[in-house]
Amino acid sequence: MSQVALVYSPRFNDYDLGPSHPMRPARVVRTYELIRACGLLEGSEASLLRPSPAGEERLALAHSQEYIEAVRAPSEGRAMRNPLKFGLGTVDNPIVDGLYEATAIVVGASLRATDAVVDGEASVAFNPSGGLHHGHRAKAAGFCVFNDAAVAILHLLERCGEGVKVAYVDIDAHHGDGVQEAFWERRDVLTISVHESGRYLFPGTGRVDEIGEGEGEGYAVNLPLSPYTNDEVYAWAFREAVVPLVEAFEPDFVFTQLGVDTHYQDPLTHMCLTTRGYMQVVEALAGVAERWIAVGGGGYDVGVVPRAWTLAFARMSGREAPEHVPKSEAKQYGGNDEPVPMHDAEGPTIDEDWARVAREFAEESVAGVRERVFPVHGLSAETG
Ligand SMILES: [Zn+2]
């Protein structure tokens, strides 16, 4: 069994929402190129898997028939009727040629990653094109059309049958609202989202008191953080609120959305992580995930995302990433003669008042999660 699998297709390049749209397919293409250039696909412990597009009946696990048909209409030469009803034809979610195919291959790739782990082909599989966590049952939002994570988890549950448990952990800077919704009333899927507070950032949801309903009460978890949250505060909050929950839940599979728009250079958010803080979190995830399906997500600085995801993939492989970006790729990361480190060479400068606000905000959110959710899982709300 190979330990780690990367799912990749040149067709990921087709998820292109236009030249001025921040969701550049280069984020994913360059991640693949950097992973390969770092030698992380060599050796018998690593494999490269090719996805095929998700079929309509897989998409229907998480989406309404009416919505699937609406997204597909332009590909069949029909006009989409009432696109705004489906969240399409907006600045964030424009209708582009081949949209259905481009998003169906992303979902297919998350299905491929999931099957690889379920079938024991690999213990960890990574689909960097995935993580379209804002996709709703019948509505596109936040650059996401079909929700690959929701579809893949529902597929996993269908394949593995009763009693199987999945922990979904979402470290994107934005709230994982679409995935939360899909499992809102279920207790076999624990959804945890750590994100910049909805007070400051799209989609506005993800408050600590959103904890699921009915059967699922206590199985949706939200840890909102403040703008300017740094490595230290983020990693602390993650250790205090997320790790114990995943451990207590004892999942059969861990499914992670590894968005890296928490980075201090990210143009769309206000979080202040570096690749080192990001990797502390990936390290913590590796510690709780035995059978692990990972998808990408947000992250809009093309000089940052491939480095962060390559570092994450190296950790999934149990290997060291090289210290520097290989020469063949260095130019893309601002290197001319000087070698470019894989990790950030610099970090953010944060105003002291904001640093204090961010710390207090995190303390309050951690306490809120521990109070509301920990007892459901037999854990003590007290810290320390
Ligand atoms: Zn995001």
Here the tokens at position 271 are: 């979080």
Residue 134: active-site member: yes
Here the tokens at position 99 are: 């949209």
C-alpha 147 – ligand 1 centre gap (Å): 14
C-alpha 174 – ligand 1 centre gap (Å): 4
C-alpha 142 – ligand 1 centre gap (Å): 8
pLDDT per residue of the chain (384 residues) written in tens, 0 to 9: 459 999 999 999 999 999 999 999 999 999 999 999 999 999 999 999 999 999 999 999 999 999 999 999 999 999 998 999 999 999 999 999 999 999 999 999 999 999 999 999 999 999 999 999 999 999 999 999 999 999 999 999 999 988 999 999 999 999 999 999 999 999 999 999 999 999 999 999 999 999 999 999 999 999 999 999 999 999 999 999 999 999 999 999 999 999 999 999 999 999 999 999 999 999 999 999 999 999 999 999 999 999 999 999 999 999 999 999 999 999 999 877 789 999 999 999 999 999 999 999 999 999 999 999 999 999 999 876
C-alpha 143 – ligand 1 centre gap (Å): 9
Longest dimension (CA), the chain: 60
Cβ(176)–Cβ(131) below 8 Å: no
C-alpha 162 – ligand 1 centre gap (Å): 32
Q: What is the pLDDT of residue 338?
A: 84
C-alpha 298 – ligand 1 centre gap (Å): 4
Provide the Cα torsion 3, 281, 227, 350; round to 10°.
Answer: -120
C-alpha 43 – ligand 1 centre gap (Å): 33
Q: What is the pLDDT of residue 1?
A: 47
Q: What is the pLDDT of residue 384?
A: 62
C-alpha 171 – ligand 1 centre gap (Å): 9
Q: What is the pLDDT of residue 59?
A: 98
Question: Partners of 111 in the beta sheet?
Answer: none
C-alpha 262 – ligand 1 centre gap (Å): 8
Q: Name the catalytic one among 21, 63, 133, 134.
A: 134
Contacts for 281 with CB less than 8 Å, ≥ 6 apart: 171, 234, 235, 238
C-alpha 77 – ligand 1 centre gap (Å): 32
Domain definitions of the chain by residue range: 2-377
Mapped to the 3 state alphabet, what secondary structure does 236-300 carry?
HHHHHHHHHHHHHHCCCEEEEECCCCCECCCCCCCCEECHHHHHHHHHHHHHHCCCEEEECCCCC
Superfamily the domain 2-377 falls into: Histone deacetylase domain (3.40.800.20)
C-alpha 177 – ligand 1 centre gap (Å): 11
C-alpha 2 – ligand 1 centre gap (Å): 30
Task: Provide the 8-state DSSP code for 125.
Answer: E
Rg from Cα positions in the chain: 20
